[in-house]
């Protein structure tokens, strides 16, 4: 395992219809949108996830945890945690959970500001949210 600060990171914005994916390097502290993976009621396309993990060989995977504004957990938190546990169990990669409050809201604003439409699903909101999750994790590590 590389030293903290030099790790390759994949971040996932878990959703029941789509899962956004971003990649980045901890040292740079920034991420790039990578993919939006379809999901059916929260069940991802595991074959696509496996291909992405094999191609990018991350040192750590970060999954967004959609906490409520009062720090309490909700149903989506449980589903995101389950997704993280399955990533770890299937692919033996370290997984970190990161508070992702308001990342989707911020990502929608970014898409609209860059000329995207309100049809968010086709314009990179989920993978942009994954970038924000990755960057949040990097800031926490630099801490």
pLDDT at position 143 is: 72
pLDDT digits (tens, 9 = 90+) for 43-94: 999 999 999 999 999 999 999 999 888 889 999 999 999 999 999 999 999 9
CATH code, 14: 3.30.420.140
Has residue 132 been placed in a domain? yes
Q: Which domain holds residue 26?
A: 8-138
Has residue 143 been placed in a domain? no
pTM: 0.84
Q: Which residues of 95-128 are buried (b: 16+ CB within 10 A; e: fewer)?
A: bebbebeebbeebbebbeeeebeeebeebbbbbb
pLDDT exceeds 50 at position 119: no
Range from 13-17, 49-53, 100-104, 114-118 carrying the lowest mean pLDDT: 114-118
Has residue 18 been placed in a domain? yes
Q: How many CB atoms lie within 10 A of CB 5?
A: 12
pLDDT at position 133 is: 95
Has residue 130 been placed in a domain? yes
Has residue 124 been placed in a domain? yes
Domain count, the chain: 1
Tokens encoding 39: 């999901």
Has residue 1 been placed in a domain? no
pLDDT at position 7 is: 92
Has residue 3 been placed in a domain? no
């Amino acid at each position: 395992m590389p030293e903290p600060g030099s790790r390759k990171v994949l971040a996932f914005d878990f959703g029941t219809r789509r899962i956004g994916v971003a990649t980045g390097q901890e040292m740079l502290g920034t991420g790039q949108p990578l993919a939006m993976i379809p999901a059916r009621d929260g069940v991802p396309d595991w074959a696509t996830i496996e291909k992405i993990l094999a191609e990018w060989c991350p040192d750590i995977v970060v999954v967004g945890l959609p906490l409520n504004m009062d720090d309490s957990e909700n149903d989506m938190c449980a589903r995101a945690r389950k997704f993280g546990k399955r990533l770890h169990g299937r692919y033996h990669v370290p997984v970190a959970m990161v508070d992702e409050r308001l990342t989707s809201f911020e990502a929608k604003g970014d898409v609209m500001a860059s000329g995207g439409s309100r049809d968010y699903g086709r314009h990179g909101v989920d993978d942009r949210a994954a970038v924000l999750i990755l960057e949040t994790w990097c800031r926490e590590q630099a801490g």
